[in-house]
Amino acid sequence: MSYFQPEFVARSAAVRVRFGPGVRHAVAEEVGRLGARRALVLSTPQQAETALAVAEDLGDLAAGVYSRAAMHTPVQVTEEAEAHAHAIGADCLVAVGGGSTTGLGKAIAYRTDLPQVVVPTTYAGSEATAILGQTDGRAKTTLTDPRVQPEVILYDAELVAGLPVPLTVTSALNAIAHAAEGLYAQDRNPLSSVLAVEGMRAFAAALPTVIASPGDLPARGETLYGAWLCGTVLGQVGMALHHKLCHVLGGTFGLPHAETHAIILPHAIAFNETAVPDLLAPVAASFGGATAGAALHAFAQRCGAPAALRDLGLARTDLDRAAEVATTNPYWNPAPVTRDGIRHLLDAAWEGRAPDH
């Protein structure tokens, strides 16, 4: 299959990526290359020990550790962390963790333009984008700004090896969602499509091994490589229906981010496959199925992913309102987004059925 397009616009961020087991130990060298002397290390409370170990690797270049990163990047946490960065004279941020910790580093960088080194420990892919989502009270807003783009990423499979299997699966499907939606993005380009297909191939090949043997470093490395590629796609192109539905279900109904992504993905892709079957053919090929939607559904189930929105606590009576909100101000999407169509999709996702299309 060719990903050639007769016309396109492509842009790539200038990001330095180092990849390999143990590469986190090079963090001092990377901070030094940035010309920084006083790094603030960031993490969630759950990963404070990992952050302290990275601070030890930094030696004299560590100015402090802030371990209160939280889900959805609350502005109050950012303000506290920014004040701490200022108080210790930080000239660089080192975020060690998943999308929540990376989000905190990005939020501080947005306000201060401090350079960022990210050491990802999930597959979410936030480290590869200039996108920042943050919450103030209940409202979540998203912005894109070059200051937010991390300068250096250290992909170390040893740190991801401890990611619990259920989180591994939902995080991988989160990454795959970026690649799958990237294939039909309005602003896709040949490079983003090639990255998306190779990213999905890496997950399809290595995720089953990781689930069976979470400490398998070569397999963890291949999935982490997939995360980099899928995150890079997210950094280059716009997302569509799948992301809109996940934002509505997370924002309006408080459903958990990763599980919601895992459940919705096969349904959103099947919905769009009716409009762009050729663009989604690589998804069916990567995951081995007659259609992209069916292939993703079967793959997610084989990996033990959650299948039904009802298991996340969403009431059936909420589906009408969810369809209503999802079709108000819809994102651009390759298939027409109708209230009935989305209601039908949500019904299948609520019950945990295979996609209808």
Contacts of 60 (CB under 8 A, 6+ apart): none
Positions 223 through 242 that interact with ligand NAD (CB under 6 A): 234
User: Residue 85 or residue 258: which is nearer to ligand NAD going by CB?
Assistant: 258
**Pick from 67, 78, 171, 223: which binds ligand NAD (CB under 6 A)?**
171
How is residue 324 written in tokens? Answer: 């209503």
Which residue is associated with the tokens 């297909």? 197
| CB of residue 280 to ligand NAD, shortest distance in Å | 21
Segment lying near ligand NAD (by CB under 6 A), choices 44-52, 274-282, 291-299, 339-347? 44-52
Cα–Cα distance for residue pair 17/128, rounded to 1 Å: 10
CB 303 within 8 A of CB 205: no
Q: Which is nearer to ligand NAD, 97 or 282 (CB)?
A: 97
In the complex, least distance from residue 277 CB atom to ligand NAD, rounded to whole angstroms: 27
Angle formed by the axes of helices 241-251 and 319-326, to 10°? Answer: 130
Binding track, positions 90-129, relative to ligand NAD; x by CB under 6 A? -------xxxxx-x-----------------xx-xxx--x
Q: Which of 193, 157, 182 is nearest to 19 (CA)?
A: 157
Coil, strand or helix at 92: strand
Q: Give which of 133, 126, 134 is closest to 232, Cα–Cα.
A: 126
Beta carbon of residue 179, minimum distance to ligand NAD (angstroms, whole number): 13
Examine residue 214 and tell whether it contacts ligand NAD (CB under 6 A): no
Q: Which is nearer to ligand NAD, 192 or 291 (CB)?
A: 192
Q: Binding segment for ligand NAD among 6-14, 156-164, 183-191, 281-289 (CB under 6 A)? A: 156-164
Residue 281 interacting with ligand NAD (CB under 6 A): no
Token output for 47: 């990963």
The residue type of 166 is P
Kindly identify the residues of this chain, within the stretch 301-320, that bind ligand NAD according to CB under 6 A: none
Residue 135 engages ligand NAD in binding (rule: CB under 6 A) = no
**CA-based R_g, the chain, Å:** 20
Distance CA 328, CA 344 (A): 16
271, β-bridge pairs: none
Residue closer to ligand NAD (CB basis): 6 or 138: 138
Cα distances (Å, whole numbers) of residue 325 to 70, 233, 336: 26, 27, 15
Among 59, 89, 146, 162, binds ligand NAD (CB under 6 A): 162
Token pair in block for residue 107: 């939020």
Q: Can you give the binding site for ligand NAD, defined by CB under 6 A?
A: 44, 46-47, 71-72, 97-101, 103, 121-122, 124-126, 129, 131-133, 159-160, 162-163, 167, 171, 174, 234, 257-258
